[in-house]
A and B are shown apart, each in its own frame.
Chain A
Amino acid sequence: MSSRVFGEPIKRLEDPRLLTGDAVFVDDVERPGMLHVAFLRSPYAHGRLHAIDLTDARSRDGVIAAFAADDLGAYWQHGPLLVPPPPIADAVFYPRTQVPLARGKVRHAGEPLAVVVATSRYIAEDALDDIVYDLEPLDVAIELEAALDADAPRIHEDLDSNLAADVRQQKGDYAAARAAADVILERRFTYDHGAAAAIENRGVVADWDRRAERLTVWDTTQAPIPIRNGLAGLLGLSESQVRVVAPFIGGGFGPKIMMFYPEEMVVPWLAMRLGKPVKWIEDREENFFATTHERSQIHQAEIALDREGRILGVRDDFLHDTGAYNPYGLTVPINSQCTLLGPYRVPAYDSRFRAVFTNATIVTPYRGAGRQHGVFVMERLLDLAARELNLDPVEIRRRNVLEPDEFPHHHEIIYQDFSELVYDSGNHRPAIEKACAMIDWERERDGAGIQGEEPAGTVDKRRGVGLVCYVEGTGIGPYEGARVTVESSGSVSVSTGIGTQGQGHFTAFAQVVAEQLGVAVERVRVVTGDTRAFHWGTGTFASRGAVVAGNACHAAALAVRAKILRHASEALEVDEADLELVGGEARVVGAPQRRIALGDLAQRANPLRGAVAPGTEPGLEATSYFGPSRGATASGVHAMEVEVDPSTAMVEILRYIVVHDCGTVINPMILDGQIKGGVAQGIGNAFYEQLIYDSEGQLQNASLMDYLLPTAAEVPPIETAHLVTPSPLNPLGTKGAGEAGAIPTGALFAQAVENALREDLPDLEILEIPLSPNRLWELMCAARGEQA
């Protein structure tokens, strides 16, 4: 093909619309006579709701209606268990899912108690103050370990305790590995991940067309098709009566795959009940309480090694905060459990986790989805082992990474996609060497540190470097689909069911299709996230868009290509093998004057008169599906150079390096953007962001003034390099990249800061993330034997 588009750094086709403000987001949707919604939310983290009186609210000027749980009648029901537990022997799991409006009890601050519909959001919020309710505060279970105590306040009173799940997975014989070990290290690690804090909060607009008997819902969801199917079931409608549109969305990162959020259930019901279009847009304060978080785990972990630093086994026992409800099943802790193993040879593994209900916002995946927690534990154990064995941290990793001839590598435990954790492919050692070269590891590791004599009055700073590895199971099933159509104009339309939250799907999928059809990428128009355009699929999550939907687009494009060649062969009276598709035409190889435009072929394939052969499908169109047997294994190495002010414990990241392998690359510029955005969120996780609850279960920093997202000023330039080890599990050879940047940053930050302070505090051990300067200062004081 003369002009390749696949694999090229093509500028994103959607950006002109986004940059000029022409892209439609949910809050841009306006309907005639539209009403606005505000939710009354629980001020308490745990309470018994005795009564609620909406009389005054209903009588305020401009208020159309107000409802509490009992007003929903039969529509009031628990949300679905979105992800049932995978088939793990002896796994204990107690599903307890959220409700649309609280009835009898509230289990986290911000849980909705009632809803007000008014002619404006202002009036709706004014009316919230009119609602009189009797909510008796109860003692809370908020701290992870204390919540498991026998006498802890019970969040779900029908259960014996706050235990939500207890899962153990084993590989090999850890006891034997431990008995044979030269070095055994055990530590307690805490890792806390935060709020996704997408730039666009959630929102739902619903419009019931009574005469057409059709419901249209605009929703900031990552999963429009499951939302449509679920809503149809809840509302007693046919799926064909419900259209869900996920338009442009300002970031998903996982929390927008959750379903059903209470607001997502209530707003469409309001539209039908009132016969009016209804809009609810989440504000930033609500987002902190009502949109799911990820939060913390506490690991008690042990590693056993021989004296050469080879891993013999790992044992881990951890607690996972699942929040007040657990509709997302076990996905996050299983990701932690599986991803802990990293790119390493671990002959014996014994891992148990217990998920714990707490009086806090529901926990579901947020970019990384528990992988950070596992990676942190493993990478820190290796760093501690390297220190114990007087090995370079890179060297201990070299000795343990899997070599190319060890794939596929079976880990003998079950992954989040319900199949065995098997690494399909990998090439880790060259990635490590590449990252070492980029950061100049040998020189920086020993040569950085104290920066010589400083003039009096200036600040003495310390420099340090770090390097860590990780793998990411990506691109999991079950399946996605795509429909590719060549229109009579010669333009190509592509529809797929997944939603788009900034990933560049409009460009990447166009590149996949354009490559096969020989058309300019600008002539391919991609539609995502509209159930009227395509209604089979699951959604955008788990770094799977490019892998699963990308391969579905590829398969549909191949099928259309075959149709084009057949019609062109007939039209030009040549053998299909003598044709090529170039510049929007089918041409005879070696005789390019013999040609026919794809648009003309599309018209031939869809005649207005005459006869077609029996069994013929009209048009140049195909719908194809792709479902991988299991996830594709992406991997990478990150390195960082930091500068620490030992007097203030402030840390500045000077350099950040990512060597990444996600198999075949569709668009390297989009990939770079994905990686860098992930790193920015990883830096936030490592040093800035933490959801801080007090002992009453109140979130202390529910605003962007106090919840510290990194800004452009805090994120250093990020240097990236890519290795390509194609996945054998899909035709394109792609692996997911969406979460890669965010996964190992916490582990890397800890290692680099320790390295920077090695002369001052050789015994400093950083066993927790996030690490505020205040907390780092306390650890530094403790390492000096001082009281902080």
Chain B
Amino acid sequence: MKPAPFRYFAPETLDEALSLLAEHGDEAKPLAGGQSLVPAMNFRLAQPAVLVDLNRIAALSFIRPDDAGGVVVGAMTRQRAVEHSELVAARAPLVTETVPYIAHAQIRNRGTFGGSLAHADPASELPAVALALDAQFTLACRSGQRVVPAEAFYTDLFETACGHEELLVDVRLPTAAAGSGFAFEELARRHGDYALVGVAVAVQRGADGTLIDARMAYLSVGPGPVLATRASASLLGTRGETEALRVAASLAAHEDIVDPPSDIHATAAYRRHLIEVLTVRALTRACSRAQEGA
């Protein structure tokens, strides 16, 4: 269980890193916290010829407010720092609620916010949260930057809109508006395991108490994070009554999520069942919090 040979670079600036990526193209792989890439290399499932270690680029590690009332998180910010950030807790409470579900504290000390988002593992929590929050991803390459919404970032299994010469440099989380409520639910075999199913929910009530926005995003149910658009739409105009939540859960499990996987940990049928159970639980909490917030 030793990695195949590779060349190793540890640039100290973003420009150097982007130059290295431009030079080596798809032979190169950026190394963030290494919590997924290094085991994959040790199993020789990943054999990058060039490793560009981003850990010395201090400029990629930050959490700061943005002008619109949201928060921007640098890609190399450790998950543990996000977990403990008061700014994140105030402006993106769904993130604060979710991060403790990512593996274990030791792994979050090393794992990065951007690394997890860019790795695009369909079983990881942060991509679903980014979808539920409509987060904006900043991608940089030598010739400039572009901003991609979470929905466009995730394209397929472990596939994203990020090109070989690009790096995810930061993620913008929009502010929690008045009347909004959030919740995250997942079911894992053991604490810290990849979830069998998980759901991140963001809802918002209008002045009359009816739901004017709802976004539900799932993990471990498809090739990437899955946004349940029909289920979300069915909630608009309701007050989040139990029956409305059940309808939404059923739509999510049977229409939005077309083909939940069967694997050694859960069959597709069990996953569908869990989607319904967890959706009701998450929506119940989110709607109740939205009431508090309105």
- The reply to whether B281 and A713 form a contact with Cβ atoms under 8 Å apart is no
Knowing A688-B189, A713-B191 are in contact, say whether A126-B4 is a contact too (CB < 8 A). Answer: yes
B291 part of interface (Cβ distance < 8 Å): no
B254-294 interface with A by 8 A CB criterion: 264-267, 269-270, 273-274, 277, 281, 284-285, 288
Knowing A457-B281, A692-B264, A777-B270 are in contact, say whether A122-B43 is a contact too (CB < 8 A). Answer: no
Residues of chain A within 8 A of B207, CB atoms compared: none
Interface of B is mostly: loop
Residues of chain A within 8 A of B277, CB atoms compared: 647-648
- With CB as the reference atom, state the residue of chain B lying closest to A128: B44
Residues of chain A within 8 A of B273, CB atoms compared: 777
A700 to B44, CA, bound (A): 17
Residues of chain A within 8 A of B144, CB atoms compared: none
A701 part of interface (Cβ distance < 8 Å): yes
A283 part of interface (Cβ distance < 8 Å): yes
A395 part of interface (Cβ distance < 8 Å): no
Query: Least Cβ distance of B181 to chain A in Å?
Result: 12
A239-295 interface with B by 8 A CB criterion: 283-286
Q: How large is the interface on B (under 10, 10 to 19, 20 to 34, 35 or more residues)?
A: 20 to 34
A710 part of interface (Cβ distance < 8 Å): yes
- The reply to whether B264 and A714 form a contact with Cβ atoms under 8 Å apart is no
Knowing A648-B277, A700-B264, A788-B269 are in contact, say whether A456-B242 is a contact too (CB < 8 A). Answer: yes
A185 part of interface (Cβ distance < 8 Å): no
- The reply to whether B267 and A774 form a contact with Cβ atoms under 8 Å apart is yes
- The reply to whether A457 and B189 form a contact with Cβ atoms under 8 Å apart is no
A788 to B3, CA, bound (A): 42
- The reply to whether A708 and B189 form a contact with Cβ atoms under 8 Å apart is yes
A56 part of interface (Cβ distance < 8 Å): no
Residues of chain A within 8 A of B44, CB atoms compared: 125
- The reply to whether A457 and B288 form a contact with Cβ atoms under 8 Å apart is yes
Residues of chain A within 8 A of B270, CB atoms compared: 773-774, 777-778, 788
- The reply to whether B190 and A710 form a contact with Cβ atoms under 8 Å apart is yes
Residues of chain B within 8 A of A650, CB atoms compared: 187
Which of B3, B187, B269, B288 contacts A648, CB < 8 Å? Answer: B187
- The reply to whether B266 and A285 form a contact with Cβ atoms under 8 Å apart is no
- The reply to whether B190 and A711 form a contact with Cβ atoms under 8 Å apart is yes
Which of B2, B39, B194, B281 contacts A459, CB < 8 Å? Answer: B281
A406 part of interface (Cβ distance < 8 Å): no
Residues of chain B within 8 A of A456, CB atoms compared: 242, 284
B interface footprint on A704-747 (CB within 8 Å = 1, 0 otherwise): 01101011011000000000000000000000000000000000
Knowing A774-B266, A777-B270 are in contact, say whether A688-B281 is a contact too (CB < 8 A). Answer: no
A121 to B190, CA, bound (A): 33
Residues of chain A within 8 A of B39, CB atoms compared: 705
Residues of chain A within 8 A of B264, CB atoms compared: 692, 700-701, 706
- The reply to whether B190 and A285 form a contact with Cβ atoms under 8 Å apart is no
Residues of chain A within 8 A of B194, CB atoms compared: 705
A708 to B266, CA, bound (A): 13
Residues of chain B within 8 A of A788, CB atoms compared: 267, 269-270
Residues of chain A within 8 A of B193, CB atoms compared: 708
A457 to B281, CA, bound (A): 6
A684 to B18, CA, bound (A): 46
Q: How large is the interface on A (under 10, 10 to 19, 20 to 34, 35 or more residues)?
A: 20 to 34
Query: Least Cβ distance of B263 to chain A in Å?
Result: 8
Residues of chain A within 8 A of B281, CB atoms compared: 457, 459
Most chain A C-beta atoms within 10 Å of own C-beta, residue among B194, B196, B264, B281: B264
Query: Least Cβ distance of B243 to chain A in Å?
Result: 12
Query: Least Cβ distance of B228 to chain A in Å?
Result: 19
Knowing A774-B265, A777-B273 are in contact, say whether A457-B284 is a contact too (CB < 8 A). Answer: yes
A interface footprint on B43-73 (CB within 8 Å = 1, 0 otherwise): 1100000000000000000000000000000
- The reply to whether A283 and B190 form a contact with Cβ atoms under 8 Å apart is no
Query: Least Cβ distance of A228 to chain B in Å?
Result: 30
Residues of chain B within 8 A of A125, CB atoms compared: 1-2, 44
Residues of chain B within 8 A of A774, CB atoms compared: 196, 265-267, 270
Query: Least Cβ distance of B119 to chain A in Å?
Result: 14
Query: Least Cβ distance of A26 to chain B in Å?
Result: 17
Query: Least Cβ distance of A772 to chain B in Å?
Result: 8
Most chain A C-beta atoms within 10 Å of own C-beta, residue among B2, B44, B194: B2
A650 to B1, CA, bound (A): 34
- With CB as the reference atom, state the residue of chain A lying closest to B266: A774
Knowing A457-B285, A459-B281, A692-B264 are in contact, say whether A773-B191 is a contact too (CB < 8 A). Answer: no
Most chain A C-beta atoms within 10 Å of own C-beta, residue among B1, B194, B265: B1
Knowing A284-B1, A457-B281 are in contact, say whether A714-B266 is a contact too (CB < 8 A). Answer: no
Query: Least Cβ distance of B194 to chain A in Å?
Result: 8
- The reply to whether A713 and B1 form a contact with Cβ atoms under 8 Å apart is no
- The reply to whether A648 and B274 form a contact with Cβ atoms under 8 Å apart is yes
- The reply to whether B189 and A711 form a contact with Cβ atoms under 8 Å apart is no
- The reply to whether A122 and B2 form a contact with Cβ atoms under 8 Å apart is yes
A703 to B43, CA, bound (A): 10
- With CB as the reference atom, state the residue of chain B lying closest to A36: B2
- The reply to whether A714 and B5 form a contact with Cβ atoms under 8 Å apart is no
Which of B3, B43, B189, B284 contacts A773, CB < 8 Å? Answer: B189
A708 to B273, CA, bound (A): 22
A736 to B63, CA, bound (A): 57
A284 to B3, CA, bound (A): 14
- The reply to whether B2 and A714 form a contact with Cβ atoms under 8 Å apart is no
A284 to B288, CA, bound (A): 46
Residues of chain A within 8 A of B43, CB atoms compared: 285, 703
A interface footprint on B71-92 (CB within 8 Å = 1, 0 otherwise): 0000000000000000000000
12 more A-B residue pairs beyond the given contacts A457-B284, A648-B274, A705-B194, with a C-beta to C-beta distance below 8 A: A121-B2, A122-B2, A125-B1, A286-B1, A457-B281, A457-B288, A701-B264, A708-B193, A711-B192, A773-B270, A788-B267, A788-B270
10 nearest interchain CB pairs? A457-B284, A283-B1, A713-B191, A122-B2, A774-B270, A647-B277, A692-B264, A125-B2, A700-B264, A774-B266
24 A-B residue pairs with Cβ-Cβ distance under 8 Å, sorted by A, are: A122-B2, A126-B5, A284-B1, A285-B43, A457-B281, A457-B284, A457-B285, A647-B277, A648-B187, A648-B277, A688-B189, A703-B43, A708-B189, A708-B190, A710-B190, A711-B190, A711-B191, A714-B190, A772-B189, A772-B265, A773-B187, A773-B189, A774-B266, A777-B270
Q: Which residues of A contact B (CB under 8 A)?
A: 121-122, 125-126, 283-286, 456-457, 459, 647-648, 650, 688, 692, 700-701, 703, 705-706, 708, 710-711, 713-714, 772-774, 777-778, 788
Q: Which residues of B contact A (CB under 8 A)?
A: 1-5, 39, 43-44, 187, 189-194, 196, 242, 264-267, 269-270, 273-274, 277, 281, 284-285, 288
